[in-house]
Amino acid sequence: KQEVTQIPAALSVPEGENLVLNCSFTDSAIYNLQWFRQDPGKGLTSLLLIQSSQREQTSGRLNASLDKSSGRSTLYIAASQPGDSATYLCAVNQYRDDKIIFGKGTRLHILP
Q: Which of 77, 86, 101, 108 binds another protein (CB under 8 A)?
A: 101
75 part of the interface to another protein, by CB under 8 A = no
Measured from the CB atom, is 98 or 112 closer to another protein? 98
Residues in the chain: 112
3-state secondary structure 2-25: CCEEEECCEEEEECCCCEEEEEEE
- Tell me the closest approach of the beta carbon of residue 104 to another protein, in angstroms: 4
Q: Which of 11, 13, 44, 62 binds another protein (CB under 8 A)?
A: 44
11 part of the interface to another protein, by CB under 8 A = no
- Tell me the closest approach of the beta carbon of residue 107 to another protein, in angstroms: 8
Measured from the CB atom, is 60 or 112 closer to another protein? 60
Strand partners, 38: 44, 87
By CB atoms closer than 10 A (0-12, 13-18, 19+), residue 62 is: middle
Question: Could you tell me how far CA 57 lies from the centroid of its own chain?
Answer: 12
Q: Tell me if 15 sits within 8 A of 112, measured CB to CB.
A: yes
The residues binding another protein (CB under 8 A) are 4, 6, 31-32, 34, 36, 41-46, 49, 51, 89, 91, 93, 97-105
